[in-house]
Chains A and B, each alone.
Chain A
């Protein structure tokens, strides 16, 4: 009943809207049919990026003025059919049946006509005003397939136009022809009985005989077959696979990192320092400046530093996807992934996780099964991301000397091991009995087009920023304020950043005893406070440790060497309130940092950024912008075993706030909270067990750790019931809508 109403309502609206001159065109097609290429070529602006209502599938719209008409394109999710089996197909089906549109452009891969025609037939049957575009007609020709366009058009009863979507000229002339044809509005009869189709099997019978009459084929080995013979070759496949993954990783991390300082310096200068000074100048009270500049401004700065690595990761992923290699990689990886109950497809987001966990979690969208997706989301934070590396580097330089490389490698391995363990645990508890799905198409190879790739990664970046900023800005603002507020003698004061008096420090001191079993003594509370600031971004740990130790010194009067004194002087330089000129200098400094970092890639021969780890203390200190004094403090506060236990904790605990934001978006609050609990508890258990077995020898703590491990298992078991109930409810909704 309600469905019927909705339908009527939609029709009314579309009648109203067609009065004004905007023409709404839905672009539909199979995945890899080139519909996104077409969209990117013809639509000038991708001005609306968001989600389809109620689901996490991206909704992309764009508009263009063409021949005096306003065209609005709606890019439907790529689907193979309109049967409502997946979220994407439900969206597409619903839109075709009830959505507001004037035309459907069905983009068909000409080199794979039969399978693509299934969706076209279904759209002609269920929708209105379908126009078919035979995309990649050039590739079809190269593969030796000649298509009789007129005959196909007569059979389907709709207009059919050849197209090379990535070619601007071709795309616009096809668009023009299509618009002209729809103005004529002549009603055509289909040559085949489309309404008589009862099932997909039926449809394929019709399609097969249709293709036999309209496609002339000469047997020729396609480019794709040739490339696959090398890429999937028994001996070459694995080396090529590893090499390409390494290339992605290297490029995203190293080239991306070149720009991190730029964003950090420039955004910090504008949104924190300049904005703060400006606020004070115009007479706003200290507390307002703290909230706006040191809180929200710092939040924007934090998000901004993620831009380069995230963007380059998206860029590399887009290249792999666009070229067609991504699905080959998934095919090869399935062999191993299957063991932990995951499909090969989830391998890619996990690899991305070594760069940054945020795009990794967003990348799980490629997974068709929800349980596979959630499993991958839980595993991703354990793939040690680039932001954690500076922390390892600092500690290793202080403690492990020439074994640093080995130590860092072992931490990465622990992370991978924790991820595998998590996969197995989820397979046994939360997603028990749910086998993984692996069923993917391997698309034709084609040379990645720069325009497509940049546009696509740009859209994804925008999407990431939109949702990361909201959560991160709020959380960072709160932490920033806590870092600044100080409560002493019943008086509230501001400007206590990273000092003993700040609320954050007070809390850190409070939390220090909890970390005692992991080898953090109570005098070593700066290490505990740093775990808090690590929530912003893990690399913040380095800065906090550095400045807090420095302050301890100045209070103890133990500042013994010049380096240390310099550090403190630098750190305590107050913001010059008088100076509210726009920070041109800092922006210049930002650009200089790009050049310096760029040169750094080639001079250091530092292939994974890991070289930082093996260098001497001076070099590490310089790269991390700490003084060498920090090593003296680290050595005084930690033993080697305690340091390693701390690094284990940093590896495993609470993923940073950007990750929390992404997880909430993809998995919902319940699972996000579960993930926070799980990662942090596991971190405690692992680092406590390590420290107590290696050095502490306290059986009580070991016992508590083991009990907590059991608690984790129990919590997952219980959560399984909650999730189960949610899924059952969802299933009901799906069945009702069917």
Chain B
């Protein structure tokens, strides 16, 4: 499933990042890479923008960018 479909407070393990993703380089620098755990901390109204936690880093980004990250193993 897409990381942007996770609900507030849910987390998942990153399976892959689509290569068409515009922010891919930046995401990788921030450690949004395969195998990392990503957690949704906050979604503003209508689910955009989104605040995520990756390791110890808090990142704010847009729904369209997060939707090209695929995750599996949803947990709370």
Contact status of A205 and B35, CB under 8 A, knowing A331-B60, A438-B49? yes
Q: How far is the CB of B57 from chain A (nearest CB, A)?
A: 5
Q: Are B60 and A335 in contact (CB under 8 A)?
A: no
Provide the main secondary structure of the chain A interface: helix
Q: How far is the CB of B25 from chain A (nearest CB, A)?
A: 5
The residue from A81, A83, A435, A439 contacting B59, defined by CB atoms under 8 A apart = A439
Q: How far is the CB of B2 from chain A (nearest CB, A)?
A: 17
| Interface residue? A232 (CB, 8 A) | yes
The residue from A111, A200, A338, A442 contacting B62, defined by CB atoms under 8 A apart = A338
Chain A interface size, as a band, is: 20 to 34
Contact status of A232 and B51, CB under 8 A, knowing A85-B26, A439-B26? yes
Q: Are A441 and B49 in contact (CB under 8 A)?
A: no
Q: How far is the CB of A512 from chain B (nearest CB, A)?
A: 50
| Interface residue? B45 (CB, 8 A) | yes
The residue from A83, A85, A204, A441 contacting B57, defined by CB atoms under 8 A apart = A441
| Interface residue? A87 (CB, 8 A) | no
Greatest chain A CB density within 10 A among B30, B31, B48, B56 is at B56
Chain B residues within an 8 Å CB radius of A621: none
Contact status of A330 and B28, CB under 8 A, knowing A112-B55, A344-B49? no
Chain A residues within an 8 Å CB radius of B28: 200-201
Q: Are B34 and A201 in contact (CB under 8 A)?
A: yes
Q: Are B25 and A85 in contact (CB under 8 A)?
A: yes
Q: Are A438 and B60 in contact (CB under 8 A)?
A: yes
| Interface residue? B42 (CB, 8 A) | yes
A274 CA / B30 CA spacing, docked (Å): 58
Q: Are A118 and B49 in contact (CB under 8 A)?
A: no
**Residues of A83-111 contacting chain B, CB below 8 A:** 83, 85, 111
A437 CA / B44 CA spacing, docked (Å): 17
Chain A residues within an 8 Å CB radius of B42: 228, 232
Interface string of B25-61 (1 = CB under 8 A from A): 1111111011110000110110011010011111111
Chain A residues within an 8 Å CB radius of B29: 80-81, 83, 85, 118, 200
A255 CA / B29 CA spacing, docked (Å): 41
Q: Are B25 and A334 in contact (CB under 8 A)?
A: no
| Interface residue? B72 (CB, 8 A) | no
Q: Are B60 and A442 in contact (CB under 8 A)?
A: yes
A442 CA / B51 CA spacing, docked (Å): 9
Q: Are A442 and B58 in contact (CB under 8 A)?
A: yes
Interface string of A405-448 (1 = CB under 8 A from B): 00000000000000000000000000000010111111100000
| Interface size, chain B (Cβ < 8 Å) | 30
Chain A residues within an 8 Å CB radius of B49: 331, 334-335, 338, 344, 438
Chain B residues within an 8 Å CB radius of A113: 56
The residue from B56, B60, B61 contacting A114, defined by CB atoms under 8 A apart = B56
A204 CA / B29 CA spacing, docked (Å): 9
A110 and chain B: residue at smallest CB distance:
B56
B57 and chain A: residue at smallest CB distance:
A115
| Interface residue? A496 (CB, 8 A) | no
A261 CA / B52 CA spacing, docked (Å): 48
| Interface residue? A323 (CB, 8 A) | no
A663 CA / B30 CA spacing, docked (Å): 32
Q: Are A204 and B31 in contact (CB under 8 A)?
A: yes
Q: Are A112 and B56 in contact (CB under 8 A)?
A: yes
Q: Are B60 and A334 in contact (CB under 8 A)?
A: yes
Chain B residues within an 8 Å CB radius of A118: 29, 31
Chain B residues within an 8 Å CB radius of A81: 29
Q: Are A440 and B35 in contact (CB under 8 A)?
A: no
Q: How far is the CB of B61 from chain A (nearest CB, A)?
A: 5
Q: How far is the CB of A255 from chain B (nearest CB, A)?
A: 31
Q: Are A204 and B26 in contact (CB under 8 A)?
A: no
Chain B residues within an 8 Å CB radius of A115: 30-31, 54-57
Interface string of B1-29 (1 = CB under 8 A from A): 00000000000000000000011011111
A86 and chain B: residue at smallest CB distance:
B26
| Interface residue? A332 (CB, 8 A) | yes
A-B contact pairs, 22 of them (CB 8 A): A80-B30, A81-B29, A85-B25, A112-B56, A112-B57, A115-B56, A118-B29, A201-B28, A201-B34, A204-B31, A208-B35, A208-B36, A331-B44, A331-B51, A331-B60, A332-B44, A334-B62, A335-B44, A335-B49, A439-B26, A439-B60, A440-B59
5 nearest CB pairs, A to B = A442-B58, A112-B56, A331-B60, A80-B29, A81-B29
Knowing that A439-B61, A440-B59, A440-B60 are A-B contacts, what are 18 other residue pairs whose CB atoms are under 8 Å apart, sorted by A's residue number? Answer: A80-B30, A85-B25, A111-B56, A112-B55, A112-B57, A113-B56, A114-B31, A115-B57, A118-B29, A201-B28, A201-B33, A228-B41, A330-B60, A334-B62, A335-B49, A438-B62, A439-B26, A441-B60
